[in-house]
Amino acid sequence: MHARKRDPSVVYWLGNSLYLNVTNRCSNSCYFCFRKFKTGIREFNLKLEKEPTLEEVIEELRKVINRKNCSDVVFCGFGEPLERLNLVLEVTRWVKKHYWKTVRVDTNGQGYLLNKGRDVVRELKEAGVDKVSVSLNAHDKETYNQICKPVFEDAYENVLEFIKNAKEEGLETEATAVRIPEVDLAKVKELAERIGIKFAVREYIPCFW
Ligand code: SF4
């Protein structure tokens, strides 16, 4: 007999961080995306059957935020959190009002394209987001389009704009790229350093869990 499939998780944890999996939608289709070859992380199933409402996210967070000795809350799941900007803003305000934890958003950096007409970075800052980790992923547009297959034609330029604005707005800003043969990591690092932000490499097959 097969073991019962675990219910999807909206909140999951690794180390001292609580992670929020609020959507499975994404405007990219990176060939190295975990979603393509995993159903979750550790014991957590991150394949949502439906997107949680704001109330459901807060309820799930409330259940664990006191029990877990967490230092930060991170929007990072099997999808792009800024597909749900309003929810990210509301949950951040709730966390800051009641717990004063550090809040980070891991994003593909296409927030302006996903939320046309919105001042996305400023809104994140004003809601209380402390940090953003942006998947820059490539040293040029051609490579980005090849490996990330964005739905938006001008995605790469927008990712760079998002990163620059995040830095100017005073958010702690990091750019990341995955170690794959198509990407010149030294050039991505140089680009991040020129903008004046931190850079981190992510391994293609991370086996730390
Ligand atoms: S941006 Fe992130 S979530 Fe979206 S397809 Fe790429 S790796 Fe997956």
Give pLDDT tens digits for 125-165.
999 999 999 999 999 999 999 999 999 999 999 999 999 99
11-202: CATH number: 3.20.20.70
Q: How confident is the model at residue 209 (pLDDT cuts 50, 70, 90)?
A: very low
- Gyration radius from the chain CA atoms: 17
Give pLDDT tens digits for 175-203.
999 999 999 999 999 999 999 999 999 98
Q: What is the pTM of this model?
A: 0.94
Residue 2 has pLDDT above 60, yes or no: no
pLDDT at 204: 80
Give pLDDT tens digits for 46-69.
999 999 999 999 999 999 998 777
What distance in angstroms lies between residue 29's CA and the mean position of ligand 1's atoms?
A: 6
- CA nearest ligand 1 atom 6, residue: 30
The 3-state DSSP class for residue 7 equals: coil
- CA nearest ligand 1 atom 8, residue: 33
The 3-state DSSP class for residue 103 equals: strand
The 3-state DSSP class for residue 21 equals: coil
**Ligand 1 atom with the shortest distance to the CA of 26:** 4
Copy the structure tokens of residue 19: 């992670």
Pocket test for ligand 1, best of 20, 22, 25, 28 (most atoms within 8 A of CB): 28
Burial class (CB in 10 A: 0-12, 13-18, 19+), 203: exposed
Pocket test for ligand 1, best of 22, 25, 26 (most atoms within 8 A of CB): 26
Ligand 1 proximal residues by C-beta, below 6 Å: 26, 28-30, 33, 35, 79-80, 108, 135, 148
